[in-house]
Structure formats: structure tokens, C-alpha cells
Amino acid sequence: MHGEVVSRLQSSDSDASASHGWRSLEPPDTARDSLHRRPFRFAHDLRNSPLFSLESLVALSHEIMHRPGDAYFDAGDVAIDDRWGNIPMPQMSLPEVIGRVETARAWIIMKHVEKNPAYAEVLDGFARFVWDLAGPKQARMIRNPEMLIIVNSPNRLTPLHFDAEINFLVQVSGTKQIWICDPMDRSVVSERDLEAYYAANNYGTYRPEAEKNAAHFALDPGEGVHIPSHGAHWVRNGGSVSVSFSLNFEHPNWLHRDLHRANHYLRRFGLTPRPQGASPVADRVKALGFGAMDRTRTAIRRLKKR
């Protein structure tokens, strides 16, 4: 039955414009220059789309619940300085939590929803929009688009954290306020934070400087905002259930991941690595060296398993 709901939506949605009206609210040159550097706003035509009704999301969750790595939810009162993983998980199934989201104080995320063709169409249209906006040179560095749906209870807070991905948060129903910090502000996200993120899955540390320096955006349905990689951010839901989705792209590993992991290990050996950007040549050498070592280690591990 649930599959039927999603395929019915898929066929009705296929009549809609493939592009879903993605448009930057800033001049294209300004938005292009802001990619990875500063948040910027954009708009779309998916406001209150049936693809994102709670009925459709419960139907979709019956697919996602069979892919445990693609679902996460928690419930409770949360503060800006709470750490990921410390928030209790309710003893309910994913479809049940979505069905009770009005009162559950829940934060729900479903990943890789593009595995369903109806949502893949949304992601495809958006990826085309971003690659066009980026221009040919930057587009080569924006890879592996992915789509995540986020469902939140009224007034729920998402604590401060940062992400590696090039992120676009899209509001479909309900409202949100989001605060986004400058990704280059090392008083908010330090070099050690970046190293711990890539080497040990640490998602950031709350510091009061974040609240002083963050840019604030209020999102209504039909709007979205670009969150640059490494820009610490936190989100406060409005007074009704919020449905939004996040469209993510990845940087090539050598640009950030391999470099920060290399610096993490250098620091563990008692060295003080130069921060990213102090020497582009040293950055490249460290990243290439670590990347090659990492790939060799993975290949050896695979061979041993055979």
C-alpha cells in the first residue's frame, strides 16, 4: 500500500516542471562567488508539494526503515551546545515517529531518498541548477549529489554542528530559523575541530563566539539557503511541524578530508601542522601523501579479507 502511494505521487509529479523552479535570490555572479564561502538564499516551487506530505513521508519511511544506515531520529529537549549522539532515541519505529511528529519533540532524518525515483527527479533538477550556477570550473569540484529529508516537531532545536558537504537546506512546509557562521572563522570552528571532524567524527564544539558572529535567516516554505562546508550552524523550528530537505554535494577527498586527517596524525606525533591555506603546496603534498597511504591501507585490508 505504501509503495502505491509513492508511485502514485511519482506519476502525478512527473507532470510537474522538471526544474521545480529553482532560482537564486541573489544575482548569479554573487551566488557563484558565494558558493563554499557565504550563505545565500534561493527559491523553489515545491512549497507544500504532495511528495513531502506526512502521508507520503510515512510511505517513504517504510522503504527507508529497511536501510538502517539511512535513518536517524531522536526526541527530547535540546540545547544549542548539546552534542550529536547524546539525545535519547524514542522506542518507536521510523514510521511511528513521523506519524507522531506533531507532539514527539522529534528530529528525524531520512538519507538517500533519491533511491526512490520520485525524489531522484527533484535531486536531478536541483543538481543541474547548482552546476549551472557554479560554472564549469567550480562544477568539477561539486560531486555526488545526495538528498536527505528532515522532519521536525514544532519548536525543536538542531544543536550547533558543521558538515563537510556543500549543503543546501530547502524549506517545504513549516518554518525555520537558521544561524550560519563564517566557515573561515577559526574562533568558531578551529583547525583542531576540523581535524577531529575528519579523523574522529566530532561535529563541532559550541563556543559563545558562534552566537555573536552568525548570520541569521528565517525560512518560509518555498525558500532555501546555502550552508557552506565547515560553516557551523544551528536551527530552530517554528511553531508547526517542519518538513525540509537537504541537498548535499561532496568535495574531492584531497581538498579537505585527506589534508585534515594528515594534520590530525601529525599532531598526534607531537608536531604542529600549518593550518590549511598557509602553504597551498604543503597542503597538496600532505593531502596527496595521506590519500595515497589511506588507499594503500584500504587495499591491503581488502586483500586480507579475501
Which of 98, 111, 127, 96 shows the shortest CA–CA distance to 18? 127
Return the number of other C-beta atoms located less than 10 Å from residue 61's C-beta. Answer: 24
Q: How far is the CB of 255 from Fe ion (least distance, A)?
A: 19
Could you tell me the CA-to-CA distances from 232 to 28, 81, 183, 189 in Å, in that order?
A: 24, 12, 7, 7
* Closer CB to Fe ion, 163 or 182, in the complex: 163
* Closer CB to Fe ion, 163 or 223, in the complex: 163
* Closer CB to Fe ion, 163 or 193, in the complex: 163
Q: How far is the CB of 39 from Fe ion (least distance, A)?
A: 12
Cell, residue 230: 565547515
Q: How far is the CB of 163 from Fe ion (least distance, A)?
A: 5
Longest CA pairwise span in the chain (Å)? 60
* Closer CB to Fe ion, 121 or 163, in the complex: 163
* Closer CB to Fe ion, 2 or 83, in the complex: 83
Element (H, E) at 115: none
* Closer CB to Fe ion, 159 or 174, in the complex: 159
Within positions 153 to 192, which residues make up the interface with Fe ion, using CB under 5 A? 163
| Closest residue to Fe ion using C-beta atoms | 163
**Alpha-carbon span 104 to 189, nearest angstrom:** 32
Q: How far is the CB of 71 from Fe ion (least distance, A)?
A: 17
Is 223 a binder of Fe ion (CB under 5 A)? no
Question: Scanning the structure block, which residue is given the C-alpha cell 601523501?
Answer: 289
Which of 169, 159, 155 shows the shortest CA–CA distance to 101? 155
Inter-axis angle of helices 2-13 and 54-64, nearest 10 = 120
**Alpha-carbon span 241 to 155, nearest angstrom:** 8
Q: How far is the CB of 219 from Fe ion (least distance, A)?
A: 14
3-class DSSP string for 61-94: HHHHCCCHHHEEEEECCCCCCCCCCCCCCCCCCH
Q: How far is the CB of 197 from Fe ion (least distance, A)?
A: 12
Within positions 70 to 109, which residues make up the interface with Fe ion, using CB under 5 A? none
Q: How far is the CB of 76 from Fe ion (least distance, A)?
A: 19
* Closer CB to Fe ion, 59 or 142, in the complex: 142
Would you say 226 and 34 are in contact if contact means Cβ atoms under 8 Å apart? yes
Q: Contacts with Fe ion: how many residues (CB under 5 A)?
A: 1
Residues that bind Fe ion (CB under 5 A): 163
